[in-house]
Copies of this chain bind each other. A is one copy, B any other.
């Protein structure tokens, strides 16, 4: 698949098959996360790969009871890492480390789609509850939950705004 095809055909998947994900694909997901760029190459991010059924259920409760999350064989939680990002001060903690995590997650979603896997970027959840469930150390802040699994339903592409609205050219 051409990269632009991967980018355009990726959808947010909210219904998963039970099929597990093979070890070699998990390894690729890890590589995709690690090789995203980061501010000053500090890589101020950390990812939790949750396969545990009980924890997945608790995570979906913490995400406003979006139960589809727990149905995915793998749930990834992306965290900023304040111990590292603070090297760039307030801007590091409030901007760079979020971008570090987000760039990794976008890599992950594209890689997953190219392998026939579905993902969904979930941002609406209680950070406090997720931190408690995963027993996160204080310097890690969970900012995204991404269930990963084989899609049981692929929705139609949602509308995108026009190029004119998205981009301004200055010649």
> Cβ of A134: which chain B residues have Cβ within 8 Å of it?
170
Interface string of A142-171 (1 = CB under 8 A from B): 011000000000000011110100111111
Residue of B nearest to A100 (CB): B102
A33 to B55, CA, bound (A): 34
Q: Are A7 and B36 in contact (CB under 8 A)?
A: yes
**A62, CB-defined interface residue at 8 Å:** no
**A interface residues, tally (CB under 8 Å):** 62
Residue of B nearest to A49 (CB): B169
Nearest CB on B from A137, distance (A) = 10
> Cβ of A144: which chain B residues have Cβ within 8 Å of it?
99
**A106, CB-defined interface residue at 8 Å:** yes
**A64, CB-defined interface residue at 8 Å:** no
> Among the listed B96, B102, B159, B168, which residue makes an inter-chain contact with A99, where contact means beta carbons less than 8 Å apart?
B102
**A69, CB-defined interface residue at 8 Å:** no
Q: Are B3 and A110 in contact (CB under 8 A)?
A: yes
**A72, CB-defined interface residue at 8 Å:** no
Q: Are A33 and B166 in contact (CB under 8 A)?
A: yes
> Cβ of A98: which chain B residues have Cβ within 8 Å of it?
95, 98-99, 102
A107 to B111, CA, bound (A): 12
A170-B51 contact in complex given A3-B114, A91-B123, A123-B91, C-beta closer than 8 Å: yes
Nearest CB on B from A92, distance (A) = 9
**Interface CB pairs A-B, < 8 A, 19:** A3-B6, A3-B32, A10-B35, A33-B166, A33-B167, A34-B163, A36-B106, A37-B121, A43-B161, A46-B166, A46-B167, A47-B168, A48-B170, A95-B123, A98-B99, A99-B123, A103-B103, A103-B106, A103-B121
